[in-house]
């Protein structure tokens, strides 16, 4: 496959004032927010700092936040009425069973032919992100979805410089099997896709408790998927109240029940996709579900799964230190518990 000629950031900067004579919006930025008051300014500023040769809009949906999120949105919307289009809920829609807020409230009102995503607690770290992505999408009409790498930042803003979300090691078009079954998901704040497909989403997108995976599968059904190996967004990990954090802090019994419901939903999703594609990528679907099962078993403390030869592939995808620790835990659970107890005891003494 021939690689695209890549422009450097300095070349983007040296282009000077961009021609925005075309009054049409090209990109709609979809942002959903709930109690993101501590982080939202960072996200909105990163949107507004984008340097483009086209118009873009910012669609922000607030799901009845109880902190100062709404005040911040109103402040930014008043300052940038030609760019920011807010939507406010009086009642929380997620609690009513609407899990994929973007697809229900933001995608239908998008004016651009392309949509870029970023939730209110994440942000973009490259002012040319939209330009780089849109350039590729405009020159490759067959491309339905484009993603890139992301950095990771903790809740307090401290960068984890040794960690990033990098699903692949080079910029290239992905094989369908790589989109369906991958060891690392494509960062949500990296996604750009075509609006026409986002306005005709299947029922299995709305039925799924998460929005990024069904969206990726749907876009794959309509065109190619390209990955840019550049860190252009930041994912905020460990935020109090986030879905992952809430899952981790519950008692194991309740946690297990929730993870099982999650697996059942993902099983329904992948099987619906498999049916719609007439089994074209059935092996990749099966592989994705096996990986899901492996990781959920680990979260449910079923460490014996690491000894199953069928899981060697998924175990090898983990960081080496984590894989070794899981192996020790599976072989010597008693010793592991003693070490864990001693470790927590030392932490309390500090």
Query: How far is the first Cα of the chain from the last one, in angstroms, to the nearest whole number?
Result: 55
For the chain, domain boundaries = 24-237, 250-349
Residue pLDDT, tens place only, 142-197: 999 999 999 998 877 766 656 789 999 999 999 999 999 999 999 999 999 999 99
24-237 under CATH 3.90.550.10, yes or no: yes
More reliable by pLDDT, 186 or 241: 186
Q: What angle do CA 151, 258, 289 make, to 5 degrees?
A: 65
Burial-class residue 236 by CB neighbours within 10 Å (0-12, 13-18, 19+): buried
Q: Which residue has the higher pLDDT, 298 or 243?
A: 298
pLDDT in tens, 31-88: 999 999 999 999 999 999 999 999 999 999 999 999 999 999 999 999 999 999 999 9
User: What pTM did the predictor assign?
Assistant: 0.86
- In the numeric block, the tokens 């989109």 are attached to 179
Phi and psi torsions of 37, nearest 5°: -55, -35
Residue 197, phi-psi category: left (phi > 0), alpha (psi -120 to 50), beta (remainder): alpha
Angstrom distance (rounded) from CA 143 to CA 174: 11
Strand partners, 56: 27
Average pLDDT over residues 261-285: 97
Structure tokens at 189: 């704040």
């Amino acid at each position: 496959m021939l690689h695209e000629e890549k422009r450097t950031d300095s070349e983007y900067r040296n282009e000077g004032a961009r021609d925005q004579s075309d009054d049409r919006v090209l990109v709609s930025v979809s942002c959903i927010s709930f109690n993101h008051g501590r982080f939202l300014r960072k996200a909105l500023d990163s949107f507004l700092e984008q340097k483009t040769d086209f118009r873009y809009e910012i669609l922000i949906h607030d799901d009845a936040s109880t902190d100062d999120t709404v005040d911040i949105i109103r402040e930014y919307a008043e300052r940038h009425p030609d760019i920011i289009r807010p939507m406010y809920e009086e009642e929380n829609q997620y609690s009513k069973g609407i899990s994929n807020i973007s697809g229900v409230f933001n995608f239908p009102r998008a004016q651009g032919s392309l949509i870029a995503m970023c939730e209110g607690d994440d942000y973009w770290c490259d002012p040319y992100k939209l330009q780089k992505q849109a350039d590729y999408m405009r020159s490759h009409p067959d491309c339905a979805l484009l993603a890139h790498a992301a950095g990771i930042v903790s809740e307090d803003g401290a960068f984890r410089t040794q960690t990033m979300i990098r699903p692949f090691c080079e910029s290239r078009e992905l094989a369908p099997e790589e989109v369906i079954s991958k060891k690392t998901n494509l960062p949500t704040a990296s996604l750009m896709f075509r609006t026409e497909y986002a306005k005709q989403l299947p029922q299995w997108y709305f039925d799924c408790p998460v929005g990024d995976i069904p969206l990726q599968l749907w876009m794959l059904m309509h065109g190619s998927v390209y990955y840019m190996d550049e860190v252009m967004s930041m994912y905020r990990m460990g935020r109090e109240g986030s879905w992952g954090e809430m899952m981790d802090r519950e008692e194991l019994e309740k946690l297990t029940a929730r993870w099982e419901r999650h697996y059942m939903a993902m099983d329904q999703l992948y099987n619906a996709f498999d049916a719609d594609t007439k089994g074209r990528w059935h092996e990749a679907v099966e592989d994705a579900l096996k990986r899901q099962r492996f990781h959920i078993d680990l979260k449910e403390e079923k460490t014996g799964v690491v000894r199953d030869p069928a899981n060697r592939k998924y175990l090898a995808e983990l960081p080496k230190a984590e894989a070794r620790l899981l192996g020790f835990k599976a072989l010597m659970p008693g010793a592991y518990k003693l070490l864990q107890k001693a470790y927590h005891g030392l932490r309390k003494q500090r």
